Structure formats: structure tokens, C-alpha cells
Amino acid sequence: MKKKQGSPFPLGATLYNDGCNFAIHSPDKIISLIIFTNDNDSYEYSLNTDDQIIYYLFIPNIKSATKYGYKITNDNGNNRLLLDPYAHKLSKPLEYHYPLDAEQSWTLSKSVVVDHAFDWEDDTPPNHPIEKTILFELHAKGFTQQHPTIAPSYQGNYLGLCQPDIIDFFKQQSITSIQLLPIISFVTEPHLIENNLTNFWGYNSVCFMAPHPNYAKNDAVKELKLMVKELHRHDIEVILDVVFNHTAEGDDNGPCFHLKALDHDYYLRNEHDQCMNYTGCGNTLDLTHQASLTLVLDSLRHWVKEYHIDGFRFDLATTLGRDHENFSAHNAFFMAVAQDPILQKVKLIAEPWDIGPNGYQLGNYPDNWHECNDKFRDITKNYWLQQPNIAKNFATRLMGSRDLFSASRWPQKLPVNFISYHDGFTLQDLVSYNEKHNEANGENNRDGHSDNRSNNHGIEGETNNTAILLLRDQQKRNLMVSLLFSFGIPHLLAVDSLSHSQQGNNNAYCQDTPIGWANWKLSKIDTAFQQWLTDIISIRQQLMPDVIRAFSNENRTKNTITWSDANGIQITSQQWVDIDHFSLHINLFNNHGELLYLINGTNNPLTFILPKDNKWNIVCDTSTQNIIIEDINVSYLQPAHSMSILYRSN
């Protein structure tokens, strides 16, 4: 590279031994580079351009930690400072007051030049096989904010997640992968600030390559790398929830941080030149535009290369595959990821919908993309908490939703099954509330879904009624066993292992409060549930990977599946219409083992006749907190509202 003139590539601020190259995509505005020597003093540089699309300059003697930005002059003559869309770091948390005028832009956080040199030692990706993967979704701040044994200086930040007690907790739970809610730099919307609230979840991205500075003690770049390295050392993957469907610039009346000023075509627009709102957040990034596609791909590679990130969960991923109203699994974004030598190696998880036309695309993503399966969530909650006579649909979800995810494409395309996610009720609240209680969000309880498919079991919210508490606990076990022993990738909400309640709030997006922070003070029944969940996840990891592999190879059709009623008689298609219980017998090819599921969603105990001539081990019975280890061979009395998993090794 001719460093004296600089280079248009790579975009962003690239540090060398003798200086830094700056490059930015800006076909709509002539811009200049501002280098800040301190908070008050700065130097302005004119930039080179070969095509009036990319502007660039090499400046000697620039060091790491140098603050910079780009100046544009508006039509009215006002000078505005822009963040670099490729900024690798922000100088401080980004906060602003609406409207964000040109004068205020100079007081905000600045882009920062970064030296990415870091001693990764012998770090290698854990690279857990997909059939062994268990996802543990958590908030980088909220999970450790109230942890009783973590030093206050580590609570609620990146380094808190790699403290010994937290790592021990992950390992006890047999978790392979933590999935972090957004840690890419984001901003809180003005209407929340006015109500003394915060964008807690972080789905409001600003600079796609910069870690959120609020979760660092001192240096977000270094501390995030330290966190990943330490988790990898303990064989735990780190998956990022990323938001590439929109940015924090909002609709046409929203703030201008960078993209709006630099290139009109970054965002999808309608025939009246207004931002399309397929995301519910005011704008929609247009990945058919080369600059947008390049920004997203460069950002993904950046997280893998510089932070050793193991995979991504894509928020509203349908937007990434859009050409306006059309979605295609063969579009440029998916093809680019599939051929990329860095990105093709990581785990890819799609939230397979957005709110635009043709937005629901569950099952339609390409191979090596695993999709969040809301059908599993809804049907499983319905069966246990609402309508047990939907057993046919529940059975379909247990067997991997093969109506949507063909077993011929396993394991490279397994559904991500879940019961609770960051949005919606926690597991505890699913069995404790009939209605949402979002008053703390300041929207008069209008926000959040009303379709919760929950059941308070007689009393709304907290209670001391022992019978109700025991039934709620049993229903939690039903939901978790259904999840862990279904065909797919189990996704658990981390706070569910603590029986955390959000007090009935099913949309805690703005609750940087105890509502959104993990509660580590467990009652006796909560402690028992945590131990039970630890044990049952461990058992799942011993059994289910082999079963999933057996259905994921050329011999999969040689395995046998039998659906029967309690009397051991195979269920006919007519009986499936309104049956409320069933057994599932899975017999693996070549005597590689058998599983038997006994599922009773009724109000009465049922005696299940077991397959003849077989001696079975009871893996678990959800009617009890105890893990039962005993042999049975003729019949089994399954209590009401419960299920059992039995195993036989041949």
C-alpha cells in the first residue's frame, strides 16, 4: 500500500506501525476527516478520492486511542460530525437529546483508532457439534449485576461473565454456548430517557464493529477479548445476537449518526422516498445495496477475526434476505456468507421473520442456518398449559418439526427449539401469570404480546399456596424436558435456571432494573429446580446427541418410530385428532439404543403399557424433583400433567 497517499481499502481506520489509513464510503457528501488531540482541540484533513464514492487518507504518526470523526456541511451551512460506520471503538457511551442537531453532534462519543494486538495464547474455537450444542441466552450486564460472590467492579460487565463462579455455573449446567443479547454499540431512544428508562436489550445498533462501552470497566475492546478467551479456555462458545436489519437512525425524522448523511441508498425506501419500516424500528437496511452488504459482511468477519466469536444469532433475519417484498434463501447475503472462508465456519442462527410483507419465513433458510422455532414454543406451551388435546401438533414438534425442517437436512439444518426467550414471559412467569403486567415500561401495559399461552394455575403472580407452587414447578419440568428431549438445538433463557420472575413483564426491553437482572437469591423450591435442571441437562447430553446423529445419516430411515396410546396400541390418524396423551418409542438402527416417552397431559393418572420384552431405565419423571434410577418392564403409572423419559441400551 502507498501509505503516503493512502488507500480506499480497507474501509475504516486501519493502524500501521507508522500511522493510520482512514477510508469511508460517502457518495452523497463531500466530507473531511477530523482528528481530535483532546476534547477541545482538533485538526481537519481533506480526503483523497478516485471516484467520489470512497474518500481516504493516510496520516503518519497516528497512534492507538486517537479520537476521530468525519465532518459534513449541511445545505444550511451547519457543520455536523459523523461517527465512522466502521469504527472499532467508541470513546464513551453514546447519549443524545432529541433532536440531534449539528451543534450537539460535536459533543457526542467519538470514533477511536484501535490497535487489535492481543495475546490470544493458544485460543481455539470450541466448535461443539451442532447436535451437542445447548444455547444459554443471557444479558451481558443483567446476568451478573446482582451476583452475590462477584466483586462489585466486575458485576454487570464483560469480565463478570468470565469470573470463576460464573464459569463454574455454566459448566455445572452443561452449557456449550452462551448467546449474548446485543453487545454491539447501541443507543437509548429519547422517549425512554424522558421516562428515566434505558434501552436494556440493545436492539438499536449504531456502529456495527464497536463493542458497547457501557459493559466495560475501562477498555471494551480488551475486556471483551479477555472474556472470550477465558470462556474458550473452559470450552464455552460465545454467540452474539446481532442487529443488521436496521440502525439507531430510525425513520426519516430520526437522528443522523452516519449512514443517513453518507449514502441515501443504505436504507430501503418506498416510492415516496421514505424509509421502509419492515423492522418496526423506523428503517430497514438494504442488503441489495453493495455498500450495505459490504458493511454487514465486513462487520461479521471483524467479530470472528478480532474477537474469536463462535457464531451469530441474527435479529429479524428475514430483512437480510429481502429484495423489498421478496425473500430468497439464494440472495446475495446468504450466498456471500456460504462462500466466505471465515463465516462459513461459525454457527448461524436466524430469527426467521420480520414485520414486512412475506416476513414469516420459518423453515425457508439455506442449509447451515438454524432457525428459531416459534412453532415449538407455542405448541409446547399450548399442550402443557392450555389444550392437551393438541397432542398431534406437540408430537410433530418433539420430532424436530419435520413438516418444516426435513430430517434429510439434519444436522446442518436443525431447528432451534425454545420455550422462553428474552422477549416474552420467563419460564417462571409462564406458570405464574395469565396476563402481562408491563406497567413499569411506561406504556400503560399496551406493549408486549397478549398471546402468552401461559397459566397461573389458580392465582395470578406470587403465592404461598403449596399445592399451586408444586404444580407450577412440575409444569416447569414438563416444559424443560419437552425442550431438552426434542429433536433440535435447545435454547434456554439463562435466568430460567434461577426461576427468575420479571413480575409478569413480558417485554422487559427497557428494564435495566431488578426486573431485568438475574435474581440469584433462590428459595428452597428454586434451588431444587436448579439442581434438577442441572441433572436433566447432563442426562440429555449423554443421550440425545447420539439419537440426533442416528437420524442425521444415511441409515436414518432404518430407525423406527412408534406412536401409541396408554394401552400400547398404535395411534391411528383419526385418533390423533383429539387425543390428549401418547407414548413415543424410538428404536435406533443396529441395536444402538431405545428411548420411550410417556406423555400424559390429562387431569388423571394413566397406566402406560410398555413395549414387550424390554427392560427400561427411567431417565426422569417430571412429577417429581428427584431423578429416578430404577428398572421397569411391564407398565408404568404416569401421574397427571407429567411425562417420563425411559431408556434402554441394547
Q: Which residues are catalytic?
A: 315, 351
C-alpha dihedral sign at 58, 63, 65, 67: negative
Q: Between the CA of residue 623 and those of 35, 429, 477, 642, what are the distances in Å?
A: 66, 20, 8, 5
Distance from CA of residue 610 to its chain's centroid?
Answer: 40
Considering only the C-alpha atoms of the chain, give the largest distance between any 2 of them, rounded to a whole number of Å. Answer: 87
Residue pair 644/638 in contact (Cβ under 8 Å)? The answer is: yes
With beta carbons less than 8 A apart as the criterion, state whether 619 and 647 touch: yes
Residue where the block lists cell 418496526: 280
Quote the CA–CA distance of 21 and 43 in Å, as a whole number.
Answer: 16
369-373 and 416-418 as β-strands: parallel, antiparallel, unpaired?
A: parallel
DSSP-derived 3-state class of residue 375: helix
Query: Which amino acid, residue 337?
Result: V
Q: Which of 210, 206, 232, 209 has the alpha carbon at shortest distance from 220?
A: 210
Helices (H), 132-174: 164-172
CB 73 within 8 A of CB 33: no
Looking up cell 492481543 gives 118
Q: Are strands 581-587 and 322-323 parallel, antiparallel or unpaired?
A: unpaired
Q: What is the C-alpha separation between 35 and 47, in angstroms, rounded?
A: 12
Name the residue among 282, 221, 224, 289 with its Cα closest to residue 257.
Answer: 282
Cis upstream peptide for 85 (omega within 30°):
no
CB atoms near residue 362 (< 10 Å): 19
Structural contact between residues 499 and 530, judged by C-beta atoms closer than 8 angstroms = yes
- Buried b / exposed e over 492-504, threshold 16 CB at 10 Å, is bbbbbbbbbbbbb
User: Which residues is 322 bridged to in the sheet?
Assistant: 327
DSSP H or E stretch at residue 529: helix 524-550
DSSP state of 588: -
Closest CA to 33 of 18, 50, 16, 13: 13
Q: CA of 2: how far to CAs of 21, 34, 58, 525, 538, in Å?
A: 10, 22, 9, 67, 57
Nearest to 142 by CA among 192, 178, 196: 178
Q: How buried is 473 (Cβ within 10 angstroms: 0-12 exposed, 13-18 middle, 19+ buried)?
A: buried
Neighbours of 99 (CB within 10 A): 11
Please state, in angstroms and rounded to a whole number, the distance separating the CA atoms of residues 130 and 190: 41
Q: How far apart are CA 227 and CA 233, in angstroms?
A: 10
